[in-house]
A and B are shown apart, each in its own frame.
Chain A
């Protein structure tokens, strides 16, 4: 089976520091894959190796079956990368920047697609503006456009929403989701875990250069998180034999941790059976932030 991205035993050392300490990952074609981890976990290093920007100390990486070192032309054609840093060439306008990028990939008559990408990213009215004169968010959009200019089947976005306002962030994710629906494989990193939760089919969590969790978003949520139920009851003391999973209490307020909705049914039935009345009720579904914190807190 050909994966969109496949790495085997990827290692990168900077002196004594192991930025990557053996990462084996496979991103399936057509999925939206999240790469999460705290600052310095190795996300950018991983992406840089896949993009051929950094050479691994050990291990191999392939993009759609093409080895990033031996078959670099094919690998790079298949890949569009939005770098984490806001880089640009101050000598050129937006349109010139995109035409140059297109030309680097050997595509000459590509103006229709360039106009289309600019339109999609709301850059059309900035087409002839020098890169220097753009705001940070605009520059970020140009970076996205540059990554798409050669219509790569696999798109990697390294923190595309860092320092971007809410409106653009939502617009960007809408666009990324559209690309995903159109068949592009998406790999993204972000520190906004709610974004990752909404966008990603599968998630890998990196910690100190190692994969410490890898599963579908659904399974991760089910395994590491649960429902949090907040209740205000009509009394402070509950009968001991109710055996409720109480995680905290404050007067008549109770916080309960539930594995799943079946457990919720049980809790409610027991309260009713004991004649306890519920004054207030709040249910929080599992969220990725909690998963993340729990995974990162595990030893090793």
Chain B
């Protein structure tokens, strides 16, 4: 039998054992964003799509949490195991690079979805959302979490120290998620920034995810799905090649 189920279970157990820090904390953060931004934006007329600001913000915040936490799960787990040295136990086992990839990414998806669901549940008392096409949202959440889980693996492999990982998180992942149209519609941006947003793959993930709730989006959901799928395929190919090479994992 394969070692995949155990490695996957271990990766899930890892964040589950510290759920306060890995799930409750990011849910609270999203809730705080909601309170602050709703206060700030309320007086400015209707949200993009014509509804209330809360309805616009909640799906964006939920997706942002999905993405950030999926990344955090695989990257922090891997770098911790690398630095403490206990990755050796996985490396000694007959686990292929494909199984390794699948276990870390699947666990990252679980963490992302749990946090995303937590954000939706925690904001439900304040914002009433009736998703018009939930399967679209689910598809984007899955693809987005898997993409960021894979990206987290790459960052975890390449980083030698926690601060290098933190730099990647703060200078790449955070800006890209923040600028993905979580707090605004990119249609409202000046032309240059709107064009720039279209080069940000996270934008399509947030936009497509929000479409499932509101039924409106900046880009056609099928087009967004295509971009998301291609991004996922690309990062997967890169991650698998990296893992197969053994770079920084097998001296």
Point out residues on A near B: beta carbons under 8 Å. Answer: 48, 51-55, 72-74, 76-77, 79, 81, 83, 85, 87-91, 100-108, 146
Docked-complex contact B3 and A104, CB < 8 angstroms: yes
- Residue with the highest number of chain A CB atoms closer than 10 Å, among B1, B10, B93: B93
B251 in the interface, Cβ–Cβ < 8 Å?
yes
Docked-complex contact A53 and B251, CB < 8 angstroms: yes
Question: When A87-B85, A89-B86 are in contact, do A53 and B5 touch as well, CB less than 8 Å?
Answer: no
Question: When A81-B92, A105-B93 are in contact, do A55 and B246 touch as well, CB less than 8 Å?
Answer: yes
Docked-complex contact B13 and A53, CB < 8 angstroms: no
User: Which residue of B2, B86, B91, B250 is within 8 Å of A88 (Cβ)?
Assistant: B86
Q: Tell me the nearest residue of chain B to A101, going by C-beta.
A: B89
What CA separation (Å) do A102 and B93 show in the bound complex? Answer: 9
The size of the chain B interface, using a CB distance under 8 A, is 27
Docked-complex contact A87 and B2, CB < 8 angstroms: no
Point out residues on B near A: beta carbons under 8 Å. Answer: 1-3, 5-7, 9-10, 13-14, 17, 81, 84-86, 88-96, 246, 250-251
Question: When A55-B246, A72-B94 are in contact, do A106 and B88 touch as well, CB less than 8 Å?
Answer: no
What CA separation (Å) do A50 and B123 show in the bound complex? Answer: 54
Chain A nearest Cβ from B124, distance in angstroms: 32
Specify which chain B residues have a CB less than 8 angstroms from the CB of A103 in the assembled complex: 3, 5-7, 9-10
- Residue with the highest number of chain A CB atoms closer than 10 Å, among B3, B7, B92, B95: B92
Specify which chain A residues have a CB less than 8 angstroms from the CB of B93 in the assembled complex: 76, 101, 104-105
Chain A nearest Cβ from B6, distance in angstroms: 3
Q: Tell me the nearest residue of chain B to A100, going by C-beta.
A: B10
What CA separation (Å) do A83 and B87 show in the bound complex? Answer: 12
- Residue with the highest number of chain A CB atoms closer than 10 Å, among B14, B88, B94, B246: B94
Specify which chain A residues have a CB less than 8 angstroms from the CB of B250 in the assembled complex: 52-55
Question: When A87-B85, A89-B81, A100-B10 are in contact, do A51 and B3 touch as well, CB less than 8 Å?
Answer: no
- Residue with the highest number of chain B CB atoms closer than 10 Å, among A74, A101, A102, A106: A106
- The contact sample of 8 A-B pairs, CB cut-off 8 A, is A48-B251, A53-B88, A53-B91, A55-B251, A74-B94, A87-B86, A104-B7, A106-B1
